[in-house]
């Protein structure tokens, strides 16, 4: 099963991806983790990313797609994968589509967790207060508002892109974690 999880910051994508990873025995792929692993492994794409990151620049889409391309060829992705945090914009979705098409791979579903932004901010601020490690630097109301605006402008259109392909499943991310997991599993059973 090849999946993408979409949703604004704090919607629970990572938590739900971990749960689905365990249920379906497919790895959750985080682009940040993949970048660091490719750099550490000194792959050709990893070395390219290392130089870019060392300069403090953002890694271009084609490099990130190259890292995803390398990663999904590993044995643990034979039964599928979950992309969490990518694509972040329509250009990345298009580049991902081209790469997957070249490998004769098609996505089974894109799971979008729909949430109320105001409730989401309260949820994230509460999480920050309860965190054993202390709040993240970007867990302030001002930073969260900005992150949500960036999401709406850049990432939300990705949902329309995949809706046009007929593979978007928008679910209610405002439910309790177990209920959201049940909704995702039910949606995946229909595929």
| Rounded Cα–Cα distance for residues 86 and 116 (Å) | 21
Would you state the structure tokens that stand for residue 108, as one six-digit string?
């089974």
List alpha helices for the chain, DSSP H.
Answer: 13-24, 31-41, 44-54, 61-71, 90-102, 117-130, 141-150, 156-163, 177-189
Sign of the torsion formed by the C-alpha atoms of 60, 61, 66 and 68: positive
Burial class of 40 by CB neighbour count within 10 A (0 to 12, 13 to 18, 19+): exposed
The domain tally of the chain equals: 1
| Predicted local confidence at residue 60, as pLDDT | 87
The pTM assigned to this predicted structure is 0.86
Residue 141 CB neighbour total at 10 angstroms: 11
Residue-range definition of the domain harbouring residue 58: 2-189
Residue 67 CB neighbour total at 10 angstroms: 25
| Predicted local confidence at residue 71, as pLDDT | 93
Q: What is the CATH number of the domain that holds 143?
A: 3.40.50.300
**19 prior amide bond cis, ω within 30:** no
pLDDT in tens, 88-130: 899 999 999 999 999 999 999 999 999 998 888 887 788 778 8
* Residues acting as catalytic residues: 13, 88, 127, 136, 147
| Predicted local confidence at residue 95, as pLDDT | 96
pLDDT in tens, 26-79: 999 988 788 888 888 898 888 888 888 777 777 888 888 998 999 999 999 999
């Amino acid at each position: 099963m090849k999946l993408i999880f979409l949703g604004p910051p704090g919607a629970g994508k990572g938590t739900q991806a971990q749960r689905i990873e365990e249920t379906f025995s497919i790895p959750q792929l985080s682009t940040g983790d993949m970048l660091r692993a490719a750099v550490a492994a000194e792959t050709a794409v990893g070395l390219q990313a290392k130089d870019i990151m060392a300069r403090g620049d953002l890694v271009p889409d084609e490099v990130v797609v190259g890292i995803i391309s390398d990663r999904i060829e590993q044995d643990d992705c034979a039964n599928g994968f979950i992309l969490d945090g990518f694509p972040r914009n329509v250009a990345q979705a298009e580049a991902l589509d081209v790469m997957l098409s070249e490998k004769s791979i098609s996505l089974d579903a894109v799971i979008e967790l729909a949430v109320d932004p105001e409730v989401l901010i309260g949820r994230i601020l509460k999480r920050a207060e309860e965190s054993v490690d202390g709040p993240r630097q970007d867990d302030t109301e001002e930073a969260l508002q900005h992150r949500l605006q960036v999401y709406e402008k850049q990432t939300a259109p990705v949902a329309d892109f995949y809706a046009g392909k007929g593979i978007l499943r928008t679910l209610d991310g405002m439910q309790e974690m177990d209920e959201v997991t049940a909704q995702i599993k039910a949606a995946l059973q229909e595929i």
